[in-house]
Amino acid sequence: METRLVEAPGSEEIRRYRMLVGGEWVDALSGKTFESTNPYTGKVWATAPEADEEDVDRAVRAAREAFDEGPWGRMTGTERARLLRRFAELLAENAEDIARVESTDNGKLLREMGGQLKSLPEWYYYFAGAADKIQGETIPSDKPNFFVYTRREPIGVVGAIVPWNSPLLLLTFKLAPALAAGCTFVVKPAEQTPASILEFAKLFEEAGFPPGVVNVVTGFGDPTGRALVRHPGVDKVAFTGSTETGKAVMKDAADHLAKVSLELGGKSPNIVFDDADLEATNNGVVSGIFAATGQTCIAGSRLFVHGRAHDELVERLSEKAGTIRLGDPLEAETEMGPVAFKEQLDKVQGYIQAGQDEGAELVSGGKRPDTEALRDGYFIEPTIFTGVDNGMRIAREEIFGPVLSVIPFEDEDDLIWQANDTDYGLAAGIWTRDIQKAHRVAHALRAGTVWINAYRTLSFNTPFGGYKMSGLGRENGLESIKEYTEVKSVWVELSGQTRDPFTLG
């Protein structure tokens, strides 16, 4: 199959994708397909194969063969790094087209997807630099007749499942360190957004990766995703998605003791003290909850505001929320796109109703826009609730939409208690001019990432992951290499003497 990307979306023609298995582009063995809907138009724009257990087995076997028998398993870190750098170059060349595909598939702004795609090559350059530096240690032995050292070796075949909100970014969090470590890979995209990963996968052959190193199977959580997680040929499962699904993934992987890393949900506190710069804070809060239509695990969905700043900040936020431009995500002037699919829209609307039923005050948004240009898409207005109690459902459960719960506070100790009074611990924000207080509160928060006077910033070289029900393990940075390697200890006897076989050496 031609490895260059097809033209960016724009016609009414439905695209028909195939899966990548063992270096070949294939249909599902059953011949079944499923549809992907453009959330802006509400119309089907692409189809992909509906893989079943047999298709997954074929992909895992291809990955295993590439790892055990193909040239990939014999490559040095320097050789893998060369391929990763070539792939990064190709990705940079094709970033704009792939961004349009992803925006069409999940409804996020093209300017956001474009920014993500332009930054993604940096992940592959970074981990290319790490590929030949994955090293062990020499251990000072307590036994003078032994030389002891360790090796870090690739864990093997990785099965990855990624969500619909940022498919390629969240895939890259896993794929770049796994390839640097020498693993092979089978990924299942979300059934709502298969297209961008299939376009992206076309670049691996052109970059020179051997067949079977990277495989893509498309389909639904059950049977496709579950078959991948449960497959005994998968050595490591890397999952991003909801906490409930993450629990199921962990249980299924436990049947064959596959290692697991999980990047799950969040209900992140964004904390504003009364000495904060409210103009900068207002911008940061909007970025934290309304950018990406709130469809991000790190969304700053619980806004804790000191009483002296509460009314002014709410007024600023309401004014801004009312002017956010909803529209076609492919248009440069659009500031917020649709929710990614109908079921998610229904979920968001259900939470907005629940907030009102529980007594929170709806001060902005909460409705679907009733204009001809937006009527067919899955749009919901930027929504702000005040008078929220930390025990309400809208303050405790992940909504994954543009819904902000504002909670007032007066005392720092009580604030920390409330901020940590959640099942989640993925991220948090702190807004204050008092640097001592900023660090003090940052240290007290139970969250994997804390921003001070900023929000929603990530990098390839900084570990990312959660506490509590927000997951296990870390992605990005050199820390992530550990997720895709095993440590082997090697003992070398130096004296050549025979020892007593009935004592521990």
475 counts as catalytic: no
Single-letter amino acid code for the residue at 148: V
Nearest to 46 by CA among 92, 91, 100: 100
Tell me if residue 476 falls in helix, strand or coil. Answer: coil
Query: How is residue 221 annotated by DSSP?
Result: I
Residue 297 appears among annotated catalytic residues? yes
Whose CA is closest to 39, among 299, 374, 287?
374
Contacts of 361 (CB under 8 A, 6+ apart): 385, 386, 387
Three-state secondary-structure class, residue 450? strand
Which of 297, 398, 475, 483 is catalytic? The answer is 297
Tokens of 244: 């409930």
* SS3 category, 101: helix
The C-alpha atoms of residue 148 and residue 23 are separated, in whole angstroms, by: 40
Token look-up 């600023």 returns: 316
Active-site choice (191, 205, 263, 483):
263
* Residue among 74, 71, 24 nearest 209 (CA): 71
**Spatial distance between the Cα atoms of 274 and 213, rounded to a whole number of angstroms:** 53
Strands 269-272 and 427-431: parallel
Residue 173's nearest CA partner among 225, 236, 124, 245 is 124
Gap between the Cα atoms of 473 and 475, Å rounded:
7
DSSP 464: B
Show which residues are catalytic: 263, 297
